[in-house]
Amino acid sequence: MRVFVTGATGFIGSAIVQELLSAGHQVLGLARSEAAAKSLAAAGAKIHRGDLADLDSLRRGAAAADAVIHTAFIHDFAKFAANCETDRRAIEALGAAVAGSDRPLIVTSGTAFLAPGRRATEDMAPSSDAHAIPRVSEQTALSMAPEGVRASVVRLPPSVHGDGDHGFVPRLIGFAREKGVSAYIRDGLNHWPAVHRLDAARLYRLVLEKVSAGTRYHGVADEAVPFRDIAAVIGRRLDLPVVSKTPEEAAGHFGWFAPFAAIDCPASSQRTREALGWQPKQPGLIPDLDHTRYFET
Averaged pLDDT of the chain: 95
Helix (H, G, I), strand (E, B) or coil at 120: strand
Per-residue pLDDT, 144: 96
Percent of the chain with pLDDT over 70: 98
Q: Which residues contact residue 162 at a Cβ distance below 8 angstroms, ignoring those fewer than 6 apart?
A: 11, 15, 196, 197, 198, 282, 288
Sign for the pseudo-dihedral over CA of 251, 252, 256, 259? negative
The helix or strand, by DSSP H or E, that contains position 4, with its residue range, turns out to be strand 2-6
Neighbouring C-alpha atoms within 13 Å toward the C-beta of 231? 26
- Give pLDDT tens digits for 96-133: 999 999 999 999 999 998 999 999 999 999 877 656 67
Is 201 in contact with 25 (CB distance < 8 Å)?
no
Query: CA dihedral defined by 41, 44, 48, 50, rounded to 10 degrees?
Result: -60
pTM > 0.85: yes or no: yes
Average pLDDT, integer, range 205-229: 95
**Alpha-helix runs per DSSP H in 103-218:** 137-142, 168-179, 197-209
286/288 Cα distance (integer angstroms) = 5
Q: How confident is the model at residue 78 (pLDDT cuts 50, 70, 90)?
A: confident
Measuring CA to CA, which residue among 1, 38, 37 is closest to residue 19?
A: 1
Is 210 in contact with 202 (CB distance < 8 Å)?
no
Strand order in 159-161's β-sheet?
159-161, 191-196, 222-226
Dump strand ranges (E) for 24-110: 26-31, 46-49, 67-70, 104-110
Per-residue pLDDT, 131: 60
In this structure, the number of other CB atoms found within 10 A of the CB of residue 85 comes to 15
Is 111 in contact with 265 (CB distance < 8 Å)?
yes
Average pLDDT, integer, range 21-49: 97
Which of 59-73, 125-139, 140-154 shows the lowest mean pLDDT across its residues? 125-139
Q: What is the largest CA-CA distance in the chain?
A: 58
Distance from CA of residue 153 to its chain's centroid?
11
Is 121 in contact with 268 (CB distance < 8 Å)?
yes
Dump strand ranges (E) for 173-284: 182-185, 191-196, 216-218, 222-226, 242-245
Per-residue pLDDT, 134: 84
278/206 Cα distance (integer angstroms) = 8
Burial class of residue 286 (count of CB atoms within 10 Å of its CB; 0-12, 13-18, 19+): middle
- Give pLDDT tens digits for 170-196: 999 999 999 999 999 999 999 999 999
